[in-house]
Chain A
Amino acid sequence: MRRPGLFYCNGETAMETLLSVKDLKIDFDQGKRFVRALHGVNLDVAKGEVLGVVGESGCGKSITWLAALGLLGNRARISGSVRLDGEEIAGMNETDLSRLRGGRIAMIFQDPSSSLNPVHRIGRQINEALKLHRGLTGAAADAESARLLDRVGIANATRRLREYPHEMSGGMNQRIMIAMALAGEPELLIADEPTTALDATIQAQILDLLTELRRDTGMALVLISHDLGVVADMSDRVAVMYGGRVIEEADTGSLFDNPAHPYTKGLIAALPDIDGPRRRLESIPGTVPAPDQLPPGCSFAPRCAIASKICDAAMPGFLPFGESANHFAACVKCREEAPFGEAAPGEAVKPGLVPA
């Protein structure tokens, strides 16, 4: 599924770009002052591709895409550009934007059970989307809703349509959310941690369903997750976020085989594995700084093992890395001659239980 040559090394995108986010900045009104939560994010999603977005909680994964669809509410001040097929949608009026939402761009969320209205029947909630985007009502809408439920693997669709969200499991509700998203026949589905609240076997079902739907419909997918495994498994390309910025972006293979940024390396090394020999985990010291307490210069510097003076000077530029054309990283030291982090993940076998 990888698309070589889609992104040129100078960052110029090919024609197939579906959604393009440029220099997106978000400030939240905190009463007395504004706090910047997103510091200029650039991301492109090509038609039909899967873009994975990873990072720890609070790094700005969700707000990036909520802002792109104008779903952040009036306490967020947003600047930058969001283009869908070349057409600017940032700052679009509500009527035009609402036609895109759930239409060309659909979105599903982390907690499926509370993402559905508890007092409306499932059928009514799906019909609502069908009416908005396909003009279907009455029996035609009911039939299409049933077909959609069937499509996402829910048996007894007609009966299920008359039930309420609380009568279903979390996995079922996520399927319903997906069915609702499909109602508008989207070109892009933004899935914000779609399996985080679900059990492992149910997560596998949902990921399979998403893969299958994508293959059949050709829609692009933005998969937001804090789980490196999920992103690695599903994505063509991955963006790693930290402190309200994208700090590394690459084709999935390149990112996991040859990570550039110390944070990406740290995340990979901190993850226990299920196969292979056991090793001691390498943790990243410290914690993610609050959005209003970012250090000057590289925001990862306080936690970075190889940080030095130059890192504090300014936020490092987002520049190409390595041989792969689509690999970028925002770290001043990652391109130095001797690659650091010799004890690369997976090498150091867990030494008994000896403390470091």
Chain B
Amino acid sequence: MVEYLLMKIFRALVTVTLIVSAAFVVLRLSGDPAIIILGPEAPPEAFEAFRRNWGLDQPIWVQYLKYFAAVFQGDLGVSMRDGRSALEVVSERIPLTLAITLPALFLKLCIGLPAGVTAALYRNSWVDRLIMMLSVAGFTVPSFVLGLVLAMVFAVWLGWLPSGGSDTWAHAVLPTVTMGLVGAAVIARFTRSAMLEVLGQPYIRTASAKGLLWRDVVRTHALPNAAIPTLTIIGFLVGSLVAGAVVVESVFSWPGVGRLLVNAVANRDLAVVQVILLLVGLTMVGANLAVDILYGMVDPRLRIKRLKAGS
């Protein structure tokens, strides 16, 4: 088990390194930060100074190695845009993002899980069909479209809520609801199929045959077993708490990490982009790992299987 987890962590770190490297190369090759940040009209001396200052005059592989050397010493670089530590720039945005993603996650689970379970329990009934219709709509409509529609209705027509910004809690409502609805659709669908799979298992029939009432069969035999595969998707959602809001933040001009990322990419503000990617990578990996450990704890079959697969 320990062996297996170490392997998993190692692989995840390799993945994060690859992402960061790829971003480095793409951003460096796709535009000169000096021009973008100083503007094309700046005097040539300013360019030169800027480049020397940020080490941009060195060959790209030297920059790359230097960057990694620095990262391993805990130095994540400085934002080219406002000269502050990139970590600081990113950190101050995290609470803002969490302010909408955490409630959204709550919403996703509170709507998605019961909806999926209900649909499965009343399979093929009108309830099931309604839930599935909404769910399909929920994840075929892109979140920016849903966001715009919600903004249209509640901000422009009804005027109940602001359409953009972050001044009051009211500003957080629309982005949260947008994300929550889309995520709930995904969870509902996933939960339904996990639940149907479990309900079709012979041990469910055994549970009924031994005299449990249907609601107890569902409570003690179906729900816990269906929760196991659902963990994966919940893990994924937790992993995307930081990064999952790029689109919605842009639509509602919410100044979170997502919007920072968009701006940093546009400005070729490399250090900031890298910090965000690292952060995203690490939360994903962390969530994944947590799911794995949980899996092992709740599913006795896996403890054995893992051991075999771990070799």
Direct contact, A vs B (beta carbon within 8 Å): yes
A residues contacting B by CB (< 8 A) are: 66, 69, 71, 75, 94-95, 98-103, 106-107, 109, 111, 114-120, 128-129, 132-133, 164, 166-167, 177, 180-181, 183-184
User: Which residues of chain A are within 8 angstroms of B206 by Cβ–Cβ distance?
Assistant: 109, 115-117, 177, 180
CA distance A100 to B124 in the complex (A): 29
Whether A109 pairs with B210 at a CB distance below 8 angstroms is no
A and B contact pairs by CB, cutoff 8 A, 6 listed = A98-B208, A119-B228, A119-B299, A128-B210, A166-B304, A184-B211
Chain B nearest CB, measured from A192 CB (Å): 10
> Which of B82-90, B197-205, B277-285 makes up part of the contact surface?
B197-205
CA distance A103 to B212 in the complex (A): 11
User: Which residues of chain B are within 8 angstroms of A107 by Cβ–Cβ distance?
Assistant: 209
Whether A164 pairs with B301 at a CB distance below 8 angstroms is yes
Q: A114-B203, A181-B210 are in contact. List 20 more A-B contacts (CB 8 A).
A: A71-B209, A75-B124, A98-B213, A102-B209, A111-B202, A115-B203, A116-B206, A117-B207, A117-B221, A117-B225, A118-B225, A118-B301, A119-B298, A128-B207, A129-B211, A132-B212, A133-B211, A166-B300, A166-B301, A184-B211
Whether B210 pairs with A102 at a CB distance below 8 angstroms is yes
Whether A118 pairs with B211 at a CB distance below 8 angstroms is no
Q: Any chain A CB within 8 A of the CB of B214?
A: yes
- Chain A residue, CB-CB nearest to B203: A117
- Count CB-based A-B contacts (< 8 Å): 81
Whether B211 pairs with A71 at a CB distance below 8 angstroms is no
- Number of residues on chain B facing chain A (CB within 8 A): 24
Chain B nearest CB, measured from A44 CB (Å): 21
Whether B211 pairs with A132 at a CB distance below 8 angstroms is yes
Chain B nearest CB, measured from A33 CB (Å): 14
Q: Any chain A CB within 8 A of the CB of B310?
A: no
Q: Any chain A CB within 8 A of the CB of B224?
A: yes
Chain B nearest CB, measured from A67 CB (Å): 13
CA distance A184 to B225 in the complex (A): 25
User: Which residues of chain B are within 8 angstroms of A177 by Cβ–Cβ distance?
Assistant: 206
Most B CB atoms within 10 A — which of A114, A116, A117, A183? Answer: A117
B residues contacting A by CB (< 8 A) are: 124, 201-203, 205-214, 220-221, 224-225, 228, 298-301, 304
Chain A nearest CB, measured from B14 CB (Å): 33
Chain A nearest CB, measured from B207 CB (Å): 7
Whether A71 pairs with B205 at a CB distance below 8 angstroms is yes
Chain B nearest CB, measured from A161 CB (Å): 14
Given A111-B202, A117-B225; A71-B301 close (CB under 8 Å): no
CA distance A110 to B211 in the complex (A): 19
- Chain A residue, CB-CB nearest to B198: A117
Whether A103 pairs with B301 at a CB distance below 8 angstroms is no
User: Which residues of chain B are within 8 angstroms of A101 by Cβ–Cβ distance?
Assistant: 208-211
Whether B304 pairs with A114 at a CB distance below 8 angstroms is no
- Chain A residue, CB-CB nearest to B221: A117
Whether A94 pairs with B213 at a CB distance below 8 angstroms is yes
CA distance A95 to B304 in the complex (A): 39
Residue of A94, A106, A118 near B210 (CB, 8 A) is A106
Whether A94 pairs with B202 at a CB distance below 8 angstroms is no
Whether B213 pairs with A95 at a CB distance below 8 angstroms is yes
Residue of A66, A94, A111, A129 near B214 (CB, 8 A) is A94
Chain B nearest CB, measured from A133 CB (Å): 6
Residue of A102, A111, A115, A164 near B211 (CB, 8 A) is A102
Given A109-B206, A114-B201, A166-B300; A98-B225 close (CB under 8 Å): no
Chain B nearest CB, measured from A196 CB (Å): 13
CA distance A101 to B205 in the complex (A): 11
Chain A nearest CB, measured from B241 CB (Å): 28
Residue of A115, A120, A184 near B202 (CB, 8 A) is A115
User: Which residues of chain A are within 8 angstroms of B220 by Cβ–Cβ distance?
Assistant: 128
CA distance A278 to B212 in the complex (A): 50
User: Which residues of chain A are within 8 angstroms of B124 by Cβ–Cβ distance?
Assistant: 75
- Chain B residue, CB-CB nearest to A117: B203
Whether B211 pairs with A98 at a CB distance below 8 angstroms is yes
CA distance A280 to B207 in the complex (A): 45
Chain A nearest CB, measured from B209 CB (Å): 4
Whether A118 pairs with B203 at a CB distance below 8 angstroms is yes
Residue of A98, A100, A106, A115 near B212 (CB, 8 A) is A98
Chain B nearest CB, measured from A188 CB (Å): 12
User: Which residues of chain A are within 8 angstroms of B208 by Cβ–Cβ distance?
Assistant: 71, 98, 101
CA distance A336 to B208 in the complex (A): 47
